[in-house]
């Protein structure tokens, strides 16, 4: 069977996109999904995303990690899917879609996609880290030597360590650059390595920095390995609302694969 695919990236976080409105893709074949994401034997991506029909909304998002397993929310993937939906003519400049964590609103202007994330009503502060869920679980800790440490080794030790259960957590290492700007590197579960950017991770870092008092601003710039993203939000009685993840989402190429 010949599979048509599209490749998109959001600040270096790249995805295989497939139009599955006709339900022709085998969603249970994890080996096939992992093969498509493989950078040597397949197309190469941090994850695979299906765009599907929805009864009342613009579309539905189904997201798989590079290991072939369906996973929790992916912020950059959601932004890229909005760009893909516009390319297919499913939407114009606005979208409301369903993902695994619920409904999301989004807008697109050229290649800038603004994606509304779910409210966050709980941030856990521990001795050396912060934990919160922004659609996916995120461990956040400071790292001064952020440019030259073994993130795969250190990230894996936390992801598989005693802090978390078998499901594990994504791990974010942060360095403060100014009162409005932070640098982050992210180890992603499911990829089991560093990704150039992680949308839910960037969102989590911005909220965590505000929660810790590292910034008073509610518009924060996050420098990931693959580029800059902005996060805006409101905070009412300890609950983070009206959270928007903002950045570029770009088409890379289209192709077919057996």
Three-class SS of residue 23?
coil
From CA 14, how far away is CA 18, in angstroms rounded? 13
The DSSP bridge partners found for residue 59 are: 97
Whether 198 sits among the annotated catalytic residues: the reply is yes
From CA 153, how far away is CA 158, in angstroms rounded? 9
Which residue of the set 37, 80, 198, 235 is catalytic? 198
Q: How far is CA 172 from CA 63, 128, 193, in A?
A: 21, 13, 12
User: How much helix, strand and coil, in percent to the nearest 5, is found in the chain?
Assistant: 15, 45, 40
Q: How far is CA 222 from CA 160, 165, 199, 230, 237, in A?
A: 26, 28, 10, 6, 24
DSSP secondary structure of 30-45: HHHHHHHH-TTTS---
From CA 142, how far away is CA 68, in angstroms rounded? 31
Query: Is the Cβ–Cβ distance between 199 and 15 less than 8 Å?
Result: no
The DSSP bridge partners found for residue 234 are: 241
Q: What does the H/E/C string look like for 126-169?
A: CCCCEEEECCCEEEEEECCCCCCCCHHHHHHHHHCCCCCCCCCC
Catalytic residues, which ones? 74, 198
């Amino acid at each position: 069977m010949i599979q048509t695919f599209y490749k998109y990236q959001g600040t270096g976080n790249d995805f295989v996109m497939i139009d599955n409105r006709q339900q022709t893709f085998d969603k249970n074949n994890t080996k096939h999904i992992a093969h498509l994401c493989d950078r040597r034997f397949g197309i190469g991506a941090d994850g695979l995303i299906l765009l599907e029909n929805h009864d009342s909304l613009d579309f539905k998002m189904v997201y798989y990690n590079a290991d072939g397993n369906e996973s929790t929310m992916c912020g950059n993937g959601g932004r890229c899917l909005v760009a893909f939906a516009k390319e297919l003519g499913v939407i114009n400049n606005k979208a409301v879609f369903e993902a695994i964590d619920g409904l999301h609103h989004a807008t697109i202007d050229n290649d800038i996609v603004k994606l509304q994330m779910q409210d966050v009503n709980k941030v856990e502060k521990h001795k050396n880290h912060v934990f919160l869920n922004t659609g996916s679980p995120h461990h956040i800790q400071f790292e001064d030597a952020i440019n030259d440490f073994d993130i795969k080794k250190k990230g894996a030790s936390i992801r598989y360590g005693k802090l978390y259960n078998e499901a594990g957590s994504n791990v974010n290492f942060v360095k403060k650059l100014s009162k409005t700007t932070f640098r982050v590197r992210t180890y992603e579960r499911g990829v089991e390595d560093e990704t150039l950017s992680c949308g839910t991770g960037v969102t989590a870092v911005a909220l965590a920095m505000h929660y810790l008092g590292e910034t008073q601003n509610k518009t924060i710039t996050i420098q990931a390995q693959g580029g800059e993203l902005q996060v805006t939000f409101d905070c009412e009685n300890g609950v983070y609302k009206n959270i928007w993840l903002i950045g570029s989402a770009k088409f890379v190429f289209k192709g077919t694969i057996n």
